[in-house]
Amino acid sequence: MVTITGKSVFGGVSIGKLLFYKRSEKVIKRTHVDDLDAEWKRFQEAKDAAVSQLQGLYDKALEDVGEANAMIFEIHQMMLEDLDYLESIENIIRTQEVNAEFAVATTADNFAKMFSAMDDAYMQGRAADVKDVSERVLDILCGVDTGLKEMSEPCIIAADDLAPSETVQLDKSKVLGFATQFGSANSHTAILARTMNIPAVIGLGEELSPEYNGKTAVVDGFTGTIYIEPDEETMKEMTEKRQKDLDRKALLEQLKGKENVTKSGRKINVYANIGNVSDLGAVLKNDAGGIGLFRSEFLYLENSDFPTEEQQFSVYKQVAESMAGKKVIIRTLDIGADKQVDYFGLDKEENPALGYRAIRICLTRPEIFKTQLRALYRAAVYGNISIMFPMIISVDEVKQIKEIIAEVKEELRSEGIPFKEDVELGIMIETPASVMVSRELAKEVDFFSVGTNDLTQYTLAIDRQNNKLDRFFDPHHPAVLAMIRMAAESAHAEGAWIGICGELGADLELTQEFIDMGLDELSVSPAMVLPLRNRIRECD
């Protein structure tokens, strides 16, 4: 038996054969070319074929994972039409008199290095994309096939890591789990695993070798461990563990349709946090009472330019209609800090967590803010939409927001465009400043939602992105809990309701304490809705 430990990105136990994702093996050689026009034409034909393939992948992804997740294939198509990219390839072919394969591979390496060297996290992420699209063109030029052979039986997919174009081609009904050598908790593989609710372990390193292809394996997504050819005792233990997990999920399924009510009769709203439209299925499947946080910045992160009013309206309308009258709280764009978008043209900051982000961008660039607000007020006609503003630190900011909203309403009214006049407004409580003036803020808004991730970061003066500080980052710190209690008291004193949409809302150890504080709502990942309902029903 071989035991390899990595990092869990989704819990559960899967047992099956390992199937390694095999990429095409091709050797790119530099060869001299005489007919340069013909070679450039050969590249252009391969590029056009790649664009056509990517359009097919976009159409498939649209059905499988929704528009927001399919957007990556539109971005890849645009990359293949990028003038700088094309000019580099043509220049290498013509000046060095070489074959198209060599020119594409060289350009891909150069661009990937260039992107990786940038300070901007978004641009660093483009390095993998340029390699991915270039590999596709190279496969066409070399005449090789890529990907998995037909999956004849359910199996555990193993790989170094998987690109979006690779995961979308998988037969999802036959994927038992994922095991990858590399990747991060935010990699496409990890996101897909969470969306599909299947066990996944990343960061297993090169110990996860292709020589194990076809071997029986167990992925323990709870501990981040994979067992290859497990012995009898381990197999028995893992089979029992898997059955217990399945039994637990079956019990939770029985909670569907039931209320989130404590033993003493107190009702708590349990909503779901989502990042894009493709997560709606998980919200409905897990019987969430509504959406407590829709992260609208994903519309900006997945676009190559500012999303238009119509693009945003279409997405917000779809979410509102799909939730059929249930509450949908949409947070206005929270760009900045760890979420960078190149077309915003944001300067590099020494301390971006304390910098130009979220509502600070919206209030200083009202043209961006107004576009989003117009789309939101128009979409509110089609469902129960509430609007929430992030990173608030003062009453003045809320008053400025209301002034801009008044302007937006007047514009829509004068243009004869239907919109909902009375939309519930709320703010994120994620700074100590907002807690300290929460009584005054509660007079201005309908609700608070506590962003515990940032509130913990700012209260403890600890960068939550810094892995070296993990041992000091304590969301259970008495100061953090005191902040939440204070915000709750302020909200209720002024007739507003209060919830939590940060990670702490799913911490079942604190559920009883949150109920004691008087919190009205907890918003968690869709997979945590039923476990949280179960915990609430156990509370006094």
Which are the catalytic amino acids?
188, 501
User: What is the pairing mode between strands 216-220 and 225-228?
Assistant: antiparallel
- Find out whether 419 and 453 touch, Cβ atoms under 8 Å: no
Q: What is the sign, positive or negative, of the torsion defined by CA atoms of 447, 449, 455, 456?
A: positive
* Residue 187 Cα to chain centre, angstroms: 9
* Residue 420 Cα to chain centre, angstroms: 29
Q: How far apart are CA 69 and CA 66, in angstroms?
A: 6
- Find out whether 326 and 385 touch, Cβ atoms under 8 Å: no
φ/ψ bin of 29: left (φ > 0), alpha (ψ from -120 to 50), beta (otherwise) = beta
Spatial neighbors of 519 by CB under 8 A, at least 6 apart, are 268, 484, 488, 498, 499, 500
Spatial neighbors of 268 by CB under 8 A, at least 6 apart, are 260, 261, 262, 515, 519, 520, 521, 522, 536
Q: How far apart are CA 414 and CA 188, in angstroms?
A: 44
CA proximity to 499, closest of 528, 482, 483, 521: 521
Q: Is 182 exposed, middle or buried (0-12, 13-18, 19+ CB in 10 A)?
A: middle
CA proximity to 230, closest of 14, 22, 19: 14
